[in-house]
Amino acid sequence: MAVVGTGLIGTSIGLALSRHGTTVHLLDKDEVSARTAAALGAGVLGASDEQVDLAVIAVPPSAVGDVLAQMQSRGLARSYTDVASVKAQLARDIRKSAQTPASYVGGHPLAGREGRGPLAARADLFEDRAWVLTPSETTSQDAVNRVLEMVALCGAVPVIMESRAHDNAVALTSHAPHLVASLMAARLQHRSREAFRLAGQGLRDVTRTAVRDTGLWSDILQANAPAVAGVLRELKDDLTTLLATLDDLSSTPQDVRSQSLEPMVDLLNRGAAGLAAIQGWQAADREAHVEVLVAESPGQLVRLLDALKTFHVEAEDVVPRHSPEEGNLSITFAVPAARAGRIVVELGRAGWNAASVDPVSGARQQKTAGVLASRAG
């Protein structure tokens, strides 16, 4: 594969794939960055003489379209993906400008560090982290499968989303929180040393994600402005209510403050409920289900159960199911979410028809192109 852009994310992808024996070609207009990434073991410097299977465009959002067009024009890879944190506008641009939009799969690994550049990279950066893919109606299944294999080798958990839904979600979970951290950090710029001596873990937690790379974040916020503005307007409404409550408390006698406290208490209660909701969801999301279709011919189920032992899944861990409508037998088993993607890919390589399954709806999500073998192994 190839990685175009050897910053934190690109170099981390190179490190993760290289440790699994994948040959990674590193390209960057900044030669020092590319050479640093190669020296770290993220891959080999320069493009391959032959077309690679997959190229990752790991550049700022505003540059992805142009770089993708350049790489497609030179025939760098059979399939392409990116790592930009904004997808909808990018998808529209690529549909208009890309030479072969079917070969492109939008991507966004939900991982990062406070440091920048290749020296901050880590091979385990993506382990147990969500990696969003936003294929369009024109994206080929081959391109999706190649990106899914890369995500699995990085140890990440693939999540398929529509690009606009992705942008709305990251506005709430990432982009607006970074801005709020920056707003709080800005309050500290001209404060006294005496105030800093009182700073504890709470202040560090609130300001830890304040924006440092202002160029990159200006790029991100410009591309996702409507969604981020919507979150901040809701926050503004709550802040206005809270400020009015605090002003009222400042001028109200202590013995009649109970009614004035209600808006503030309501806000704190909603905050506690929101925190409990995400903590509960994160706990439940640590487990994923995998379904494998089984040909009803002698020996196939036994062969599959033997194969599953490689993934530390025993016969007593699986639940069989027969669908008269579909006319097939399947087995389902639960595994840690971080391992599910790779298990699906490895089973597909072995010829099994495997997929991750939504535990609520039962819908098959990440699928392999493997057709269930009637081959005897």
SS (H, E, C) the chain: CEEECCCHHHHHHHHHHHCCCCCCEEECCCHHHHHHHHHHCCCEECCCCCCEEEEEECCCHHHHHHHHHHHHHCCCEEEEEECCCCCHHHHHHHHHHCCCHHHEEEEEECCCCCCCCHHHCCCCCCCCCEEEEECCCCCCHHHHHHHHHHHHHCCCEEEECCHHHHHHHHHHHHHHHHHHHHHHHHCCCCCCHHHHHCCCHHHHHHHCCCCCCHHHHHHHHHHCHHHHHHHHHHHHHHHHHHHHHHHHHHHCCHHHCHHHHHHHHHHHHHHHHHHHHHHHHHHHCCEEEEEEEECCCCCHHHHHHHHHHHHCCCHHHCEEEEECCCCEEEEEEEEEHHHHHHHHHHHHHCCCEEEEECCCCCCEEEECCCCCCCCCC
The whole-angstrom separation of Cα 325 and Cα 106 is 34
Whole-number pLDDT of residue 257: 61
Reply yes or no on whether the pLDDT at 79 is more than 80. yes
Average the pLDDT over 3-16 and give the result: 97
pLDDT (tens digit per residue) in 90-100: 888 888 776 77
Reply yes or no on whether the pLDDT at 361 is more than 60. no
Question: Could you tell me the pLDDT band of residue 280, with boundaries at 50, 70 and 90?
Answer: confident
Highest mean pLDDT out of 145-149, 155-159, 246-250, 370-374: 145-149
More confident residue, 377 or 314: 314
Question: Could you tell me the pLDDT band of residue 326, with boundaries at 50, 70 and 90?
Answer: low
Question: Could you tell me the pLDDT band of residue 373, with boundaries at 50, 70 and 90?
Answer: very low
Other Cβ atoms within 10 Å of 100 Cβ, number: 15
More confident residue, 53 or 94: 53
Reply yes or no on whether the pLDDT at 324 is more than 70. no
Reply yes or no on whether the pLDDT at 246 is more than 60. yes
Whole-number pLDDT of residue 250: 83
Average model confidence (pLDDT) for the chain?
Answer: 87
Q: Which residues pair with 56 in a beta bridge?
A: 3, 81
Question: Could you tell me the pLDDT band of residue 31, with boundaries at 50, 70 and 90?
Answer: very high
Whole-number pLDDT of residue 327: 65
From 295, 320, 278, 309, select the one nearest 371 (Cα to Cα).
Answer: 295
Highest mean pLDDT out of 36-50, 194-208, 209-223, 254-268: 36-50
